[in-house]
Amino acid sequence: MAFAIHSHKVSEGFLQTGLTKLELAKESQNLEKSQELTNLALKYIRTSAKMMNPKALYFMGRSVFNEEEIKACQCFRLSADIGYAPAQYELAQMYFLGKGGVNINMDRGMELLRKAASQGFDEAVKTISAIELFSVRLKLYI
């Protein structure tokens, strides 16, 4: 147990260092320095993700989402399996839309959405409310 706590603290340290370097890269007026800081930041964040830090995995998924949906889906799945609500929400969306190399699976999408909502993740709560409202209205017309 002590090793797991230590490992978590180390992975959080890598993540925070990476995020700090990203902020410095955004603020830099020097394009070359900005790129250097960005590359270094991503190394720290990747290291944290390799240590199975759910926030780092989620961040990696978001950073590659538009270019590489399959990699994003893999990152979201790892993070969601650890229980990170934002990743559960993103993965649910991928199941709803059949993106990232997964087939459309409404049941799996709803399961993930409910998990995220049960943790109080606002977007998931709102999405479930909208789905329920739409279902009620749809039944009125059938």
Same domain, 46 and 80: no
Q: What is the pLDDT of residues 33-75, one digit of tens each?
A: 888 888 888 898 889 989 998 999 988 888 877 778 898 899 9
Domain that holds residue 138: 69-142
Q: Which amino acid is at 63?
A: S
Q: Are residues 100 and 130 in the same domain?
A: yes
Is 23 a domain residue? Answer: yes
Number of independent structural domains in the chain:
2
With beta carbons less than 8 A apart as the criterion, state whether 44 and 14 touch: yes
Burial class (CB in 10 A: 0-12, 13-18, 19+), 44: buried
Residue 132, phi then psi, degrees to nearest 5: -65, -40
Residue carrying the six token digits 């955004």? 26
Task: Give per-residue pLDDT as tens, 64-119.
Answer: 777 788 988 999 999 999 999 999 999 999 999 999 999 999 999 999 999 999 99
